[in-house]
Structure 1
Amino acid sequence: MKRVIIDCDPGNGVVGANVDDGLALALAIGSPGISLEMITIVAGNTPSQTGFNVAKALLARLELDVPVYKGADRALAEPPQPWREALDNRVWHTQLAHFWQNVRPPRAYQAPDEEAADAMGRLICANPGKITLVAIGPLTNVALALERYPQMAEAVQEIAIMGGVFALDDFIKDTNFGLDPEAARRVLTCGACITLVPMDVTTRTMLTHADLQRITAPDTPLARFVGETLRPWLDYSMQTRRLPGCWIHDALVMAWLIDQRVATAADYYVDVELRPGMTRGKSWRYRLPLRVDTAVGELTGGLAHVLQTVDNARLLAMLEQALAG
């Protein structure tokens, strides 16, 4: 039994918001080998209060009692306004909000007084070597927890991260690292055992309408939640990204922790660009020894186990099994 905290920015049921966090939560909840001990919410795909409402609404539908904590409302340093404008309003600019017209939005919930960073740091440090932290949003909460609980880097069993993009032609940076580059660097270089799932591999995942119909065929509360909230995003993704379906980035992180046959991986040193300009928030990686090290200077970055390829059929089968349970 793997004990996990999921730090996320879910958007299921929210007009225009990505739903892969909710799919990762569903995979964790439906998998008997996972003990979901806490959900923490960070601002990213959705504002933190919105993400908190989504997580609470999911647990209420499933009649599950998992503690949920609301975390950071904004990045450590990155101005939030450009990101919020893009993430919250793009669906209205594209006039595609009607895809969500039959989806019930999450109701408002009152967040507890304790912050997400303190809740995760406290639980991890009280259980050294026992807790895996699954970080599938911007890394603000995790960075704050590491700052407040310095022993956490050694106490956490593993930090599994969805973020970064290294060599995709139409990306300079991804949302998770781009929205808070300082937090990404702080976490990647903290010395903890890190698994990184970048967009280079998650864009090799694919969920189509036929896949969604198949994996949500069982009449379970979890399958109904996934079917209802994924359909509008799938249509939106097909319309705006010109894909045959949608990528399911965050689900791959959870799937890897359950069954490592779902992907391949290799070790790299990874870092994030912090300097102002076009490449701020960009991630990069390298291996040692460098073939050209002239004028490189002091090497930076943290060692991470980076996923490289994915078995999409196995990933979908894992989702189907979890939703049936």
Structure 2
Amino acid sequence: MRVIIDCDPGNGIPGANIDDGLALALAIAAPQISLEMITTVAGNTPVEVGYAVAKDLAKRLDVPIPVYCGASRALREDPLPWREKLDHGVEHFGLRQLWEDVPTPQASRHAKPIAPEAIGELICHNPGEITLIATGPLTNVAIALQLYPQLIHAVKMIVIMGGVFNVPGYMKDTNFGLDPEAAHAVLTSGAPVTLVPMDVTTKTQMLHADLDRLASAENVLGRYLEQTIRPWITYSMRTRNLPGCWIHDVLTVAWLLDSSLATTTEDFLDVSLEGLTRGMTCRYGRNTLRLDVGIPEPKGVMIEILQSVDNQKLLSLIEHYIHRYHV
């Protein structure tokens, strides 16, 4: 299975989520997956920080996976309120000390933002062979679709972690909220899409005890995950009142490895671009609406949506591949 992962990783960055890094680790560890490219986008971390995290992981594992820097901001959305929220939460909660023993990857400001071109060229030169996994805002993917319209038919599948329908406290999620125009463009493009929304990823959970089992692998990947995930679990427990942490993004890779992990449904999707609901994910297939007055005809194609997940099976799958990883 040939894969590109477009992401916004934060492993080793104080206050930044680690789920992209866990997804990358699983893709690298699973022999069924050929991870052919990693691209980064501004989201969970600024784009140059995510680029540094991805480069650091590839260097630590000594794997020759090309890493490309992408969009530093959304197509239209003002990035400043998002960066204030995402980059300074650790100071707001006074928990930076959780990362005091974790080396921080050094950001690079010299990488050219060529990720959309790299994505488009690899997919279009290999029609029907490349699955694109997107675990951050969809800016790079939307730009790639603009530059390479044939990508819609050339890509094997686009698996997206993003969107939220009915999770208490969430009108929108970070990935779609940070760039609604990009999410709208991708979801209505007609490309074959599978969505992994927060409704299912908030049913995942990794505890310190689960991380202990990963760390017992005693290989470089297990040590990397233990070092970078440990503070995030504690941070999540203290700031979100969870028993551990959600592991949103890794479900995209895990589902490709074992589709029995989750149940699915289908519907037409879009993202609101105006007013209070800007960034909100909308389901609007004619067969699922009780009232369709004033609702436009669906655009694009029906999208597969993950609905539920077996968390213990997910954790076992991750542990299986991390324990069997060797360089």
Once the two structures are TM-superposed, the CA of residue 318 in structure 1 deviates from its matched residue by 1.1
Letter of the aligned partner of 1:210 in structure 2? A
Once the two structures are TM-superposed, the CA of residue 129 in structure 1 deviates from its matched residue by 0.2
Aligned position for 1:281: 279
Change (3 A) 1:114 1:295: closer
Aligned position for 1:178: 177
Aligned position for 1:126: 125
Letter of the aligned partner of 2:6 in structure 1? D
Change (3 A) 1:8 1:292: same
Measure, in 2, the Cα distance between the counterparts of 1:301 and 1:168. Answer: 25
**2:242 paired with 1:243:** yes
Letter of the aligned partner of 1:128 in structure 2? P
Whether the 8 Å contact between 1:4 and 1:132 is mirrored in structure 2 is yes
Deviations 1:279-320 (A, max 9, x none): 110001133325534523422344210000001111101110
Measure, in 1, the Cα distance between the counterparts of 2:118 and 2:108. Answer: 18
2:293 is matched with which residue: 260, 278, 295? 295
Letter of the aligned partner of 1:37 in structure 2? E
Measure, in 2, the Cα distance between the counterparts of 1:197 and 1:55. Answer: 22
Measure, in 1, the Cα distance between the counterparts of 2:123 and 2:44. Answer: 25
Measure, in 2, the Cα distance between the counterparts of 1:294 and 1:13. Answer: 47
1:258-273 aligned within 5 A:
258-273=257-272
Whether the 8 Å contact between 2:71 and 2:113 is mirrored in structure 1 is no
Tell me how large the CA RMSD over aligned residues is: 1.2
Change (3 A) 1:124 1:294: closer
Local SS of the residue matching 2:15: coil
Measure, in 1, the Cα distance between the counterparts of 2:318 and 2:89. Answer: 29
Whether the 8 Å contact between 1:7 and 1:41 is mirrored in structure 2 is yes
Whether the 8 Å contact between 1:11 and 1:17 is mirrored in structure 2 is yes
Aligned position for 2:233: 234
Aligned position for 2:203: 204
Structure 1 residue ranges without an equivalent (≥5)? none
Letter of the aligned partner of 1:289 in structure 2? N
Letter of the aligned partner of 2:143 in structure 1? L
Local SS of the residue matching 2:212: helix
Measure, in 2, the Cα distance between the counterparts of 1:8 and 1:137. Answer: 5
Whether the 8 Å contact between 1:216 and 1:323 is mirrored in structure 2 is no
Change (3 A) 1:294 1:59: closer
Deviations 1:23-44 (A, max 9, x none): 0000000001000000000000
Measure, in 2, the Cα distance between the counterparts of 1:172 and 1:299. Answer: 23
Measure, in 2, the Cα distance between the counterparts of 1:29 and 1:110. Answer: 26
Once the two structures are TM-superposed, the CA of residue 184 in structure 1 deviates from its matched residue by 0.1
Whether the 8 Å contact between 2:284 and 2:298 is mirrored in structure 1 is no
Aligned position for 1:309: 308
Whether the 8 Å contact between 1:161 and 1:195 is mirrored in structure 2 is yes
Letter of the aligned partner of 1:53 in structure 2? A
Measure, in 2, the Cα distance between the counterparts of 1:291 and 1:7. Answer: 33
Aligned position for 1:3: 2
Aligned position for 2:37: 38
Whether the 8 Å contact between 1:56 and 1:109 is mirrored in structure 2 is no
**2:99 paired with 1:95:** no
Local SS of the residue matching 2:39: strand
Deviations 1:53-104 (A, max 9, x none): 0000001000111000000000000000000000000110110111100000
Whether the 8 Å contact between 1:215 and 1:316 is mirrored in structure 2 is no
Measure, in 2, the Cα distance between the counterparts of 1:64 and 1:120. Answer: 19
Aligned position for 2:157: 158
Measure, in 1, the Cα distance between the counterparts of 2:112 and 2:81. Answer: 28
Measure, in 1, the Cα distance between the counterparts of 2:38 and 2:292. Answer: 45
Whether the 8 Å contact between 2:286 and 2:292 is mirrored in structure 1 is no
Change (3 A) 1:178 1:316: same
1:99-118 aligned within 5 A:
99-109=98-108, 112-113=111-112, 115-118=114-117
1:130-145 aligned within 5 A:
130-145=129-144
Whether the 8 Å contact between 2:159 and 2:196 is mirrored in structure 1 is yes
Aligned position for 1:320: 319
Local SS of the residue matching 2:277: coil
Whether the 8 Å contact between 2:165 and 2:199 is mirrored in structure 1 is yes
